[in-house]
Amino acid sequence: AQSVTQPDIHITVSEGASLELRCNYSYGATPYLFWYVQSPGQGLQLLLKYFSGDTLVQGIKGFEAEFKRSQSSFNLRKPSVHGSDAAEYFCAVGPEGYNTDKLSFGTGTRLQVFP
Amino acid sequence: DSGVTQTPKHLITATGQRVTLRCSPRSGDLSVYWYQQSLDQGLQFLIQYYNGEERAKGNILERFSAQQFPDLHSELNLSSLELGDSALYFCASSGGLGPEQYFGPGTRLTVT
């Protein structure tokens, strides 16, 4: 069965510092991988996605992620964090099973940004 | 704005009651997903509908049911509500070239 692990529950960084959020997945074939962001009281917003091709994908808000098959990882990065990036970040993998587009989500990483 | 709409935004009700949450997917999306998000359980997949038919089922209680109508909007019905059902309920839709899901703003349910 597919699964996603986000090892870091909570990360704190200073504004302007670089950021890397970790995501490890378990999947039997070539996965579709996603990062979502959730601001307090809001829905989840799609940051970026990987389907195939170039393993470094660019997303919105200056985020990027790199797919590393050998490490089963899809880490999210940003070179310089803003205060507005404080939110919860979810990694997801899919599709799960036959005849469904169901995704499996990680438990999330809460990002706190200090000024 | 994802294009997915959910109503109501907030719902406060008493234990034992029944409520209906409504979701309209993005234009053209055939799949609708329902999720429950709570502090202790995180983001839990409940159920998926595709073009009116149930496609996948997750950790959905028997007290909960859902359906998708011919116009593709979906409703999640929660009955015999308990305090533990208090949570954020999200709807998402997909139907483009890949399985990425687009989430609505959620309905916050408070059971008192």
pLDDT tens digits for B91-108? 999 986 667 899 999 999
In this prediction, residues B48-58 reach a mean pLDDT of 92
pLDDT of residue A99: 64
pLDDT of residue B96: 62
Quote the minimal CA–CA distance from A1 to chain B in Å: 14
pLDDT of residue A54: 86
Instruction: Give per-residue pLDDT as tens, A33-44.
Output: 999 999 988 899
CB nearest A43 (choices: B98, B99, B105): B105
pLDDT of residue A57: 96
Quote the minimal CA–CA distance from A63 to chain B in Å: 17
Q: Which of A1, A34, A3 is nearest to A104 (CA)?
A: A3
Instruction: Tell whether A90 is within 8 A of chain B (Cβ).
Output: yes
Q: Which long-range contacts (CB under 8 A, 24 or more apart) does B39-42 make?
A: B41/B87, B42/A105, B42/A107, B42/A108
DSSP 8-state code for residue A67: E
Cβ contacts of A36 on chain B, cutoff 8 Å: 103
Q: What is d(CA A2, CA A23) in angstroms, rounded to the nearest whole number?
A: 13
Query: A71: which residues sit within 8 A by CB, 6+ positions away?
Result: A24
Which has more pLDDT, A12 or A100? A12
pLDDT of residue A27: 84
Asked whether the predicted pLDDT for residue A109 surpasses 70, the reply is: yes
pLDDT of residue A30: 78
Asked whether the predicted pLDDT for residue B80 surpasses 70, the reply is: yes
Quote the minimal CA–CA distance from B15 to chain A in Å: 23
Tokens of A2: 């597919």
- What DSSP string describes chain B? --S-EEE-SEEEE-TT--EEEEEEPPTT--EEEEEEEETTTEEEEEEEEETTEEEEE-S--TTEEEEE-TTS-EEEEE-S--GGG-EEEEEEEE-SSS---EE---EEEEE-
pLDDT of residue A65: 98
Buried residues in B62-74 as b, exposed as e (16+ CB within 10 A): eebebebeeebeb
User: Please, are residues B29 and B102 in contact by the beta-carbon 8 Å criterion?
Assistant: yes
- What is the residue-averaged pLDDT of chain A? 92
Q: What is d(CA B37, CA B28) in angstroms, rounded to the nearest whole number?
A: 26
- Band (pLDDT 50/70/90 cuts) for residue B67 is very high
Cβ contacts of B103 on chain A, cutoff 8 Å: 36, 43-45
Tokens of A5: 């692990």
Quote the minimal CA–CA distance from B101 to chain A in Å: 8
Minimum CA–CA partner of A109 in chain B: B42
pLDDT of residue B100: 87
Instruction: Give per-residue pLDDT as tens, A61-105.
Output: 999 999 999 999 999 999 999 999 999 999 999 876 666 778 889
pLDDT of residue A101: 73
Minimum CA–CA partner of B36 in chain A: A43
Cβ contacts of A34 on chain B, cutoff 8 Å: 100
Handedness of CA A100, A71, A35, B91 (dihedral sign): positive
- What is the residue-averaged pLDDT of chain B? 94
In this prediction, residues B13-26 reach a mean pLDDT of 98
- Band (pLDDT 50/70/90 cuts) for residue A53 is confident
In this prediction, residues B83-87 reach a mean pLDDT of 96
